[in-house]
Structure 1
Amino acid sequence: MKKAKRFFQYDNIGYLFVLPAFLYMLIFVGYPIVDNIILSFQDVNMKTLTAAHKPFAGLANYIEIFQDPVFIKSLSNTLLFTVCCLLFQFLIGFALAIFFNQNFKISKPVRGLLMMPWMIPITVTALIFKFIFGTDVGILNNILQGLGIIKENIDWLTSTNTAMFAIVCANVWIGIPFNMILISTGLTTIPQELYESASIDGAGKIQSFFKITLPLLKPTIESVLILGFIYTFKVFDLVYVMTGGGPVNSTHMLSTYSYKLSFEMFKYSKGSAVANVLFVILLIISMFYLRMTTKGEEE
């Protein structure tokens, strides 16, 4: 007891403040991850779910999912979805951040209103876009027909050619404010004196943008892209509500396919194996992000 009391004196008192958060993460994050990893090496289904000793399957589940065409489709869909969303939401968010960084009268109120898509629950956003892209009563079809662009309704969410486009649009709408606010914060850290000096030296706005703004925003841009990748790659609720992975598996992501295997097909071990593939990819990206930020702080 005396040793413990002596340990928590002075600088070591910080461990007491960290302990509750550490225990929370250990119980509610660490244990499920470890349990899911163990589950992926077993053969657990409806028959063996309650068995005292679960059959050991080794790497069989991982071999089977990598031979599963739906898993390969889900993996490629996840990568395609992530890249498309990152590209458009970053470009639009960057443009809006530059625009609202100008000191005009209503810039701050309008920028605050543009944060609404980020604050609305994703399930609500998914339902809104499901209504927008609906076939018979969809707002988009009605607008396009009113303008004379189309004559017949387009099956946005039930066609393999357009379903991915619809969920990308929904996710881009959610991600634009996130990109805009982080880039806007980065812009505020750039000293205005640099632009004034460049103007005196005869540099135009385009030259100042490429020689001052972009180089100084590099750490912010890297953080925005990596965090955006992590948030987008693990998408579940948006896709599940809008399309459920359909039609014909055309919008299945790793997360939705893992859910389908586990809770619709009751192949718990295979579902956990898919979830672990998603976990490993995000872990690698997260480690890269931490290494990048640590390196930036040291410099």
Structure 2
Amino acid sequence: MKHTTQSPDRRPVRSRDGAAPAAPPPGRTTLRHRPASQQWAAWAFLAPVTLYLALFYAYPLYRNIDLSLRNYTVRSFVQGDAPFTGLKNYLTVFDDPTFAPALLHTVVFTAVCLVFQYAIGLALAVFFNQHFRLSATLRALFLVPWLLPLIVSASTWSWMLNSDSGIVNATLHAVGIGPVNWLTSPSWALASVIIANIWIGVPFNLVVLYSGLQSIPTSLYEAAALDGANAWQRFWRITFPLLRPVSAITLLLGLVYTLKVFDIIWIMTKGGPADSSTTFATWSYQLGFGNLLPAFGPGAAVGNLLVVAALVFGLVYVRVQRKQALS
């Protein structure tokens, strides 16, 4: 007599309502379902980035917040006994007479630089997109301001705008215009650093926007030309709308960079004269390191205000991009 053995039941376990469990999406496995060797490999690749972010971003941010909430002095740095003061440093900053002009200068400096850097960069990107002879060479030359160290660029502009020996005043004198105190006049100091920063930031906008133009199909321009659209109409109907995602990230990165510009202003004017070119970035440095009796707490508080401003604009950008993706 033959004995037969039945294989165990391989039917899938069903839920209480009788439905079979949902299969995972094809080609998608979570880290939990991967083999142990793959999990360790993934964590090994993440470890250097995580360590870098912790050491150079998370810890400095934590220390800056801690500085802004305590009464730090040179003595307390050595002995480590800085008392907790809460929001006192922030109230000190808000009550300081320098706060209002520094805020105004920061807004003006950031807004004017962003507008002109983007407008000039977009115009140059459209110009170089024509692919004429020597366009690649000229594009490379326009990158020079972006590649130079900031201290070199700022020193060059300081020499060019020097009231006595600068090439700008020499040119004005040659055409019959009197000299201008670019860096020593409260009326011109902020404009001078704005011009220098625009010159430095245009190449970045040119590179990013030119890359965005390369992704626009030429067939769209050809179809629009057949329909009778002129160059201006093709720009406003095709180029500008299709560049919106690239333009958004360009403006966001430019905003974050411009908010924290320090070295250009400090080398050219040191925030003067009479705080006429002081921004939050230079004011934070002046409070923390520019006085005989440094105010580390208020200086850190001003720096944190810049971080909050950049974070707010970043969150607004993410929200707008998410709405555009869903629409």
Aligned residues of 1:8 and 1:15 also touching (Cα < 8 A): no
Structure 2: give runs of 5+ residues left out of the alignment: 1-33
* 1:121-178 per-position Cα deviation (integer Å, ceiling 9, x unaligned): 111000000001101111111110011122xx32110110000111011001011111
Alignment of 1:118-133 (within 5 A): 118-133=146-161
Aligned residues of 2:73 and 2:82 also touching (Cα < 8 A): no
Aligned residues of 1:8 and 1:16 also touching (Cα < 8 A): no
Aligned residues of 2:288 and 2:295 also touching (Cα < 8 A): yes
Name the CA distance, whole Å, in 2 between partners of 1:28 and 1:95.
37
The two structures have a TM-score, normalised by structure 2, of 0.85
Name the CA distance, whole Å, in 2 between partners of 1:14 and 1:76.
47
Partner of 1:223: 249
Instruction: Decide which moves more: 8-17 or 99-108.
Output: 8-17
Partner of 1:10: 38
* 1:79-106 per-position Cα deviation (integer Å, ceiling 9, x unaligned): 1001111111111111111111102111
Name the CA distance, whole Å, in 1 between partners of 2:127 and 2:307.
37
Partner of 1:80: 108
Name the CA distance, whole Å, in 1 between partners of 2:131 and 2:94.
53
Structure 2 residue corresponding to 1:101, chosen from 112, 129, 133: 129
Could you tell me how far 1:292 is from its partner in structure 2? 4.5
Distance change in 2, residues 1:199/1:7 (3 Å) = same
Partner of 2:68: 40
Could you tell me how far 1:61 is from its partner in structure 2? 0.7
Partner of 2:230: 204
User: Is structure 2 residue 276 aligned with structure 1 residue 276?
Assistant: no
Structure 1: give runs of 5+ residues left out of the alignment: 1-5
The two structures have a TM-score, normalised by structure 1, of 0.93
Distance change in 2, residues 1:249/1:8 (3 Å) = farther
Aligned residues of 1:117 and 1:177 also touching (Cα < 8 A): yes
Name the CA distance, whole Å, in 2 between partners of 1:295 and 1:12.
37
Partner of 1:154: 180
- Output the amino acid matched with 1:192: T
Name the CA distance, whole Å, in 2 between partners of 1:7 and 1:53.
50
Partner of 1:176: 202
Distance change in 2, residues 1:280/1:241 (3 Å) = same
Name the CA distance, whole Å, in 2 between partners of 1:130 and 1:171.
12
Name the CA distance, whole Å, in 1 between partners of 2:323 and 2:43.
25
Name the CA distance, whole Å, in 2 between partners of 1:124 and 1:166.
16
Determine what percentage of the aligned residue pairs are the same residue: 40
Name the CA distance, whole Å, in 2 between partners of 1:292 and 1:238.
32
Instruction: Decide which moves more: 177-186 or 67-76.
Output: 67-76
Measured on the aligned residues, the alpha-carbon RMSD in Å equals: 1.9
Name the CA distance, whole Å, in 1 between partners of 2:319 and 2:37.
32
Structure 1 residue corresponding to 2:271, chosen from 232, 245, 262: 245
Partner of 1:191: 217
SS in 1 for 2:98: helix
Could you tell me how far 1:200 is from its partner in structure 2? 1.5
- Output the amino acid matched with 1:211: R
Partner of 2:193: 167
SS in 2 for 1:9: helix
SS in 2 for 1:30: helix
Distance change in 2, residues 1:149/1:52 (3 Å) = closer
Aligned residues of 1:135 and 1:154 also touching (Cα < 8 A): yes
* 1:27-83 per-position Cα deviation (integer Å, ceiling 9, x unaligned): 222111101101111111234332332111111111110111212211211110011
Aligned residues of 2:286 and 2:299 also touching (Cα < 8 A): yes
Distance change in 2, residues 1:98/1:8 (3 Å) = same
